[in-house]
Structure 1
Amino acid sequence: MKYTKLGNSGINVSRLCLGCMGFGDASRGMHTWAVQYDESKDIIGYAYEQGINFFDTAMGYQDGTSEEYLGRAIRELGIRDKTVIATKYMPRSTDELLETYTGQEWIEKCLHDSLKRLGTDYIDLYIMHAWDYKTPVLETMETLTKAQRDGRIRAFGISNCYAWQLAKANALAEKEGLETFTSIQSHFNLIAREDEREIIPYCKEDNIAVTPYSSLAVGRLSRRPEEVTKRSQLDVINNSKYDWAKDIDEPVIQRVIEIADKHGVSMAEVSLGWLLTKATSPVVGATKKSQIDGLVKSVDFILTEEEINYLEEPYVPHKLAGVIAMNPVEIQAK
């Protein structure tokens, strides 16, 4: 495994981050394919043995049980001081707005609850899961800065936002003497490259860490078209991000297969090998220990400049998908 710094935070992270969305009580959330605790712990422990020290979850994954599983596993494995935990909070929903939580109160509540579920005194990277259209930017940055300076979080980041929003928030924070977003977790992979227009260049300029999710496009960039998995059949929400673009994505996927066959490696190694040339630490999920091996190998797989260009050449612009494509009303209703 190789390691790098998480933006300007000074936190040392593995070049791959294990996404924990697939861990949790399958009866308590939208992911019916999620794996239960014992299997989750085995995967987390094996990933750590292979050098992965960076783990990402969220309060919304399986009604908080993903956080519970991750925290419990790390405690039982005795590796808390050697790992980097990232978790995420969502902006206030319509119901929560009606309950008259202020923006500050809501962040404090979410952070308190996540710390309790994780069973830890601090969170290494605390992430706003989507841009908060109902809370003044300054209030958000002040609240997150307070949490960082009193030691409950080591750094904070954002997910699912536009470049102008990230730039605005960090510029305002700098003006007011506050801490800034140290990372961006957005939807970015070989068949979803819209972030290359503004987000990626901006982050490179200001040394903001890029930790993309859906790094393998829900398996489309790691398995051959004829292969079927439980998640590919049941993950309706994530499939909706890609099903519409099947025809325009096929040429890219075929080139991934071609290069994988040429080198005798997996599709995941090729896809992540490309993404590692663009990102700090891609978030990749696993629901089987055997999947970890292929993921880890990608860190040492080096594409030539010609191969990178060959993979990129068939791409055509995509419409935005997922949370970033929602309007503010939809986000607040979640």
Structure 2
Amino acid sequence: MTSLQLPGRLQQSLEDTKVEYRQLGKSGLRVSVPILGCMGFGDSQAIPWALDEDKGLNTWDTANSYSNGASERIIGKALKQFGIPREKVVILTKCNFAVGETPEEQQFAFYSEFDRSKDYQNQFGLSRIAIFNQVEASLKRLGTTYIDLLQIHRYDSSVPIEETLKALHDLVQSGKVRYIGASSMWATQFARLQFCAEQNGWTKFVSMQDQYNLLYREEELDIKIIGRVEELAKKHEWPMAHIALAWINKRVTSPIIGCSSLRRLDEAIGSNGKRLDSDEEQYLEELYQPRPIWGHI
């Protein structure tokens, strides 16, 4: 039996692919490892070095509130500017926080004023109407007809969870959202949401995005760990980032990385396939002591 010759285009595609892919949680959605974090996208200069890199980094994480909507607009502009087929990328965005109508209007700085303003009623939070309004606005900024993964940015205790979950379920049923996820909440809150969705036959969350990495577990950083990261990096002749990414890649589906330059992006992609042995992992972890966490904003 003769083996088939690999088609030239497929061979080139494999050579151009510098990352690996994994299924997100228990879902069938496949995401790149790592995921590109777009929180820092606030002007169009972010596009050329970050999104026009055809290296397989096809999963982008943003939120409606990042740079007051500018991050989503930049992604939408990139899709159009570079002629990127929508089905070739995975877009993750979030809802809950308001998007200011001017750059100076930041909800984090003026929360009570947003709550009282006529211009921001039903524009934030996790009520049914607010979720629908936020999704429609995100779709417009992204210039697309659907969101691959919609994440609730925080837990909203002011709204019945049944209302929130039914709204998310209806968005999935409508096709405007493919999957749903959550971000930054207590485990008990997340469990309560999942249980309610399951009991009612509604769409369940496939992911939880939280701050978690080798140096920042439970919101604590131990400077001594950095010394050990540096030590192992010298041993392997790797950048320090590859040590941290090798550790996290074994523990989560895909880390979300924020990059300030093309060099940093290439460095992160270059960690693909790198592994630490069990002794090295223990060496990195043994200094860490869990501490009380101060909460989520």
TM > 0.5 fold call: yes
TM-score range, shorter chain: 0.7 to 0.9
8 Å Cα contact 1:91/1:132 also seen in 2 = no
How far does residue 77 in structure 1 lie from its aligned partner after superposition?
Answer: 1.9
* In the alignment, structure 1 residue 42 sits paired with structure 2 residue 13: no
Shift of 1:164: 1.2
1:104 matched to 2:128? The reply is yes
SS at 2:175 equivalent: coil
- Within the alignment, does 1:70 sit opposite 2:75 as a pair? yes
Structure 1's unaligned 5+ residue stretches are: 25-35, 195-240, 327-334
> 2:102 aligned with 1:88, yes or no?
no
1:242-253 to structure 2, matched below 5 A, reads 245=221, 249-253=222-226
1:127-172 deviations in whole A, cap 9, x for unaligned?
1111111111111110001001100010011100111111111111
For the residue of structure 1 that corresponds to 2:136, the secondary structure is helix
2:287 is paired with a residue whose SS is coil
What's the counterpart of residue 169 of structure 2? 145
- Answering whether residue 194 of structure 2 is matched by residue 170 of structure 1, we say yes
Corresponding position of 2:281? 308
Is the Cα–Cα contact under 8 Å of residues 141 and 178 in structure 1 kept in the other structure? yes
Residue of structure 2 in register with 1:32 after alignment: none
Of residues 145, 154, 158 in structure 1, which corresponds to 2:178? 154
What pairs up with 1:1-334 in 2 under 5 angstroms? 1-24=19-42, 36-46=43-53, 49-79=54-84, 80-90=86-96, 94=112, 98=116, 101=122, 103-194=127-218, 245=221, 249-320=222-293, 324-326=295-297
Contact 1:91 1:131 in 2 (8 A): no
Q: Counterpart of 2:67 in structure 1: which amino acid? A: Q
Task: Provide the secondary structure at the position in 2 that maps to 1:4.
Answer: strand
CA distance in 2, matches of 1:95, 1:156: 30
CA deviation after TM superposition for structure 1 residue 45, in Å:
1.5
Counterpart contact for 2:35–2:254, Cα < 8 Å: yes
Alignment-mate amino acid for residue 238 of structure 2: V
Shift of residue 42, structure 1, vs aligned partner: 2.7
The runs of 5 or more residues in structure 2 that have no matched partner are 1-18, 99-110
TM value normalised by structure 1 = 0.74
CA RMSD in angstroms, aligned pairs only = 1.8
Helix, strand or coil at the partner of 2:271: helix
1:319 and 1:293 mapped to 2: Cα distance? 35
Percent same amino acid at aligned positions? 36
Equivalenced residue count is 260
Shift of 1:287: 2.1
Higher relative contact order (CA 8 A, sep 6+): 1
Asked whether the 8 Å contact 1:91–1:128 carries over to 2, the reply is no
Report SS of the residue matched to 2:288.
coil
